[in-house]
Every structure is written in C-alpha cells, then in structure tokens.
Amino acid sequence: MEDSNKIQMRKRNMKLFPIYKTLSWDYIFFYTVNFLFLTQVKNINPADVVLIDSFYYLFAMFSQIPATFVIEFLGRKNSIILGNILSCIYMVVIIFSNNLFYLIIAEVLSATAFAIKESAEPGLLNESIPPTKLKGKIFAKINEKGMSRYYIINAISTIIAGILYEVNPYIPILLSLTILMFTTLLSTLFIEPIKKTKKKKVQSTNQLKEIGEAFKFILKSERVKSLILFAAVMKGITSILSNYEISMLEELEISASYLGIIFAMLGIIAGFATKSQEKFHNQLRNKTLSALGFSVVGACFLAGILGIIAKQYQIGILLIIVFYAIKYIMVGMYDPLIEKYMSNFTNEEIDTKIFTANNFLRGISGAIFGILAAFLLDRMETAYCMIAVGVIFFILMILVCKFMKSRVGLKPEEYSKEEIKFDKMKQIV
C-alpha cells in the first residue's frame, strides 16, 4: 500500500504534466520569426544561420551523456528546472546576439536544455504513474493531452508572432522568453518521484558504473534497439521535411502571409491527430509504427511529384498541402506513441537512459540527414529533393521495419526475461 506522500506526488505530477507539456514542449512565438529576427534585425548572414541550425543536432548529440549524469545527480524535477533555466538563457542570448559567436553559444545552450528535458520529462511522468497494466495507456494519454494542446497554441502563436513582428521584431521573442520563465516556475511545482535514500547517496560514486550497466542493457535489448533505430529514421525524414516543406512552397511563389496560415492550420491538424493515437494503436497494434513511417515517406515522395506538376497546374499546390496534412497527422500520432513504447517495461533505473540513448541517436540522425538535405538542395529544386529523399527513406523504412518485425510489438510473455527485467509490473504482488 502506498503512503500518502507517494499518492500526493502521483496526483500532482499527473495533473500538472499536460499543462506543463503544452507550454514547454518547444519554443512558442519563436520559430516563425527567429530566422527573420537574426538576419534582418541582427544582420547575421543567412547562410550562417542555416549552418548553425543544422549543427544543432550535433550539439544535442554531445549533450546526451552529460545530461544523463545531470539527471542522476539532480533528480528528474531539478533537472527539468535546470533545462528550463538554460532555455531562458538561450532566449536572452538570442535577444542580445550580434554575431556568429553568440549564435553558437545560444545553440549549445538550447541543445543542452533539450537534451536534459527530453530525458527527464518522460522519466518523471513514467515514474509518477502507478504500476498497472494500463500504465502505457495512461502515459500516452497524459502525454498526448499536452502535445495536442501545444500544437494548437503554437499554431495560434505562429499567426500572432508574424503580426507582432511587423509592429516590433522584439515583441514575439520577448513573449517567447516570458512563456519560458513561466514554465520554469511551473516546473518547480512537480514533486520528485524518486527519493534518494542515504544508501543511494553513499553509492553515488558508482554512478558511472550504474549508467554503464544500463547502456549495456540497451545495446543487448533487441526491442529497445529496434525502437531507437526506427526513431532515428523518423527523425531524419521529419527534420528534412521541416525545411523542405517551406522551401518548396516558396519556390512555388506562395507568399509569407499564406505560408504562416498554411502551417498554422497544419499544426492544428497535428494537434487533433494526436488525440487519435490510442485508437490508431488499437487498430494496428504491432503494425502501428510501420504504418506511420511509410505514410510519412509516401507523403514526402508524392508531394515532391506534385511540386513538379504544380508549376503548370495550380491544383497541384492544393494537393501538396493535402499530403503535408497527411504527414502532420502521422507525426501528431507518432510523437506520443514512440515515447509510450519506449517507456514500456521500464523503471527508474533504466527509463531516463533509454530516452537519453534515443536522443543521442536522433541527434546523429538529424545531423547526418541534415547535411544530406543541404547537399541535395544545393544541386536541385526542392521538389526533386523530396522525391530523392522519399526513395532513400522508403528503402531505409523497409530495412528498419523488417528488423523490428520479430522484436517489437510482442506480448509481454513472448519477450525474454532479459528484455523485461526492468518491468515495474513485476513489483505488483
């Protein structure tokens, strides 16, 4: 029987988490104007901005291991607070930046902040949910609630930020900083789910050994390796499309004002799609990830084909937006589901390490495929780039789904004892 403090912790964290996630998942009032702010207001070379943006993933990759130590030392709650403080400092540096050096410092701060938060946040939620057969479903539902609200708020802020930028370029950046400061305060209301005993504090000198053992398990676990590999491939194509989508519409001479409205609507669509992730999972079960992956790849390829057609037939632009919407729907359901799958069969000893390993490989994937995307875009039109990327990722998706087939989506009793040795359900008597 749990004591009253444990029950209070679970209630507080589970109630607060979706509110916190809504405001902290990513920067609000920022991404529509950050490029314009740096190039127009700060007079930083556009090529330098693009270059530093592509190297963000490298900084994120190198931040993963230190992030693990930070979380183990500070705990999940204090690590989340630290991550939010770093995000605030990042925004302040952006406001005062006037050269490439400041921009590099800013990206290092942002990458470190997200490296910590993206491991500590799902870890905190995972340990706040009581061990039950419905734990995965509860985790996904809470996570999905925050993500879906974020998509909607971010879509609204996308339009508002563009308007406010015309009034004063600093206003949307300052609003973004204000929200970050508020989420920092909000994160202090969480209750740390894992209390360190005196014995654990004494054993903190063995932290490196414990982390090493955890990563050995990750390397041995076919299930975890499969999920991380799939997440890396998905990160690769979604990071490429985040730039290609805008680039192709710009080449088709869609005005900036219409671009803002289009992507705001796509964000709202993704937000509503997030709410359907559980139904999608229940319908497809162990085929869920492959269906999501191939849908995103297919949307990329067909949008590229239509990008060529749209130069002569205007209806092609409308159909491109339809395929963009399909991609946003798939990604909207994918984000909460992949975190749910990775948190299955975990406890406080392993969950943050799995999220850290995932973020590490995603960083490598984002960097490598980002360089590939830049290489292609320098040599051909965006539409042809999307077709090439669609073909490349179709092959990668076939290979990774084939690898996952016998390793992911099995019933608990079908996994080896080694695969589920950290399953918290074992603690239920």
Lowest mean pLDDT among 194-198, 344-348, 390-394, 412-416: 194-198
Q: Is the dihedral of CA 100, 104, 109, 113 positive or negative?
A: positive
CA distance 169 to 175: 11
pLDDT at 288: 94
CA distance 348 to 138: 17
CA distance 42 to 380: 30
Non-local (6+) Cβ contacts of 1 within 8 A are none
pTM to 2 decimals? 0.79
Residue type, 4: S
CB 147 within 8 A of CB 335: yes
DSSP 427: G
CA distance 397 to 234: 9
pLDDT at 64: 82
Question: Which DSSP helix (H) or strand (E) runs through 149?
Answer: helix 135-167
Please, which pLDDT band fits residue 429 given cuts at 50, 70 and 90? very low
User: Which tokens sit at 8?
Assistant: 């209070």
pLDDT at 22: 95
pLDDT tens digits, residue range 219-234?
888 899 999 999 999 9
